[in-house]
Structure 1
């Protein structure tokens, strides 16, 4: 049976893999977009996600765990597929934005999965997860607005 600290570390390490996916996804988007405003926004999201990852890793360390620097296998496969797709079809703005929306939807699932353990997590950890989830929701909404403006 896991103690609460181990459970907290496990939940946060898994969540941080998705945050690291988010970093890599927005780095890629910033590289392939042709729109300077979108590129700037994606770079801002890389910075935001890096702060999120640092916050989670700091919390993991405070509970005796090892920081998480890896990404998910699913994220690696998705980024590889997007590279192949853009090589074949080109990187139009709409497809870049759609990929980012899918990434944020995956992030939302990861935040929800972490919050499924809310009763087992310390309140400060729940607050971190909820704050980051709200930022991800806001990002998803902004991406949807961006997509509408390029249609």
Structure 2
């Protein structure tokens, strides 16, 4: 296996953090929406992102990347950004009276951030077998974001 450069390792760590954030964010979104079908779908997306974490951690171990160190500057920044985003979902929900459309909008934003991180990771020189997992997850996040956009449009 090719050696991992520091940019690739950092990008991969970011993906693990973003997937963890996505799992938490979708669970909070599921708890915040009133539509039972949306609640079910958002819970499913939370479980999907939790599975992404598992897949990414397995790939990291195989590639020799340590994703357990949460005390890196990047990890702390990612945690802070995740907390801010979760807080924004909560704040926006409170202000809009638990509007399903507002919550879906925040899910769209979260997925857009995730897509950018995945694209950065793909450009960072990660090994081919890791890249295939990252590409697959990127496609699933894009599909989820597109589905959320449709839900948001039909939820009015």
Do these two structures clear the TM 0.5 threshold for a shared fold by scoring above it? Answer: yes
Q: Secondary structure at the match of 2:24?
A: helix
Name the structure 1 match of 2:151. 146
User: Which consecutive residues of structure 2, in runs of 5 or more, have no partner in the other structure?
Assistant: none
Contact 2:104/2:148, CA 8 A, preserved across alignment: yes
* Residue 139 (structure 2) aligned to one of 120, 134, 140: 134
User: Which consecutive residues of structure 1, in runs of 5 or more, have no partner in the other structure?
Assistant: none
Contact 1:9/1:63, CA 8 A, preserved across alignment: no
Name the structure 1 match of 2:119. 112
Aligned pair count reads 147
Q: CA deviation at 1:148?
A: 0.9
TM-score of the superposed pair, with normalisation by structure 2: 0.86
Contact 2:92/2:103, CA 8 A, preserved across alignment: no
The superposition leaves residues 78-117 of structure 1 with CA deviations (integer Å, 9 ceiling, x where unpaired) of: 2112212322331111101101111110111011110111
Does residue 1:25 correspond to 2:25, yes or no? yes
Q: How does 1:43-122 map to 2 (within 5 A)?
A: 43-68=43-68, 72-117=79-124, 120-122=125-127
Name the structure 1 match of 2:10. 10
Q: In angstroms, what is the RMSD of aligned CA positions?
A: 1.8
Runs of 4+ in 1 over 4 A off after TM superposition: 68-71
TM-score of the superposed pair, with normalisation by structure 1: 0.88
Contact 1:58/1:67, CA 8 A, preserved across alignment: no
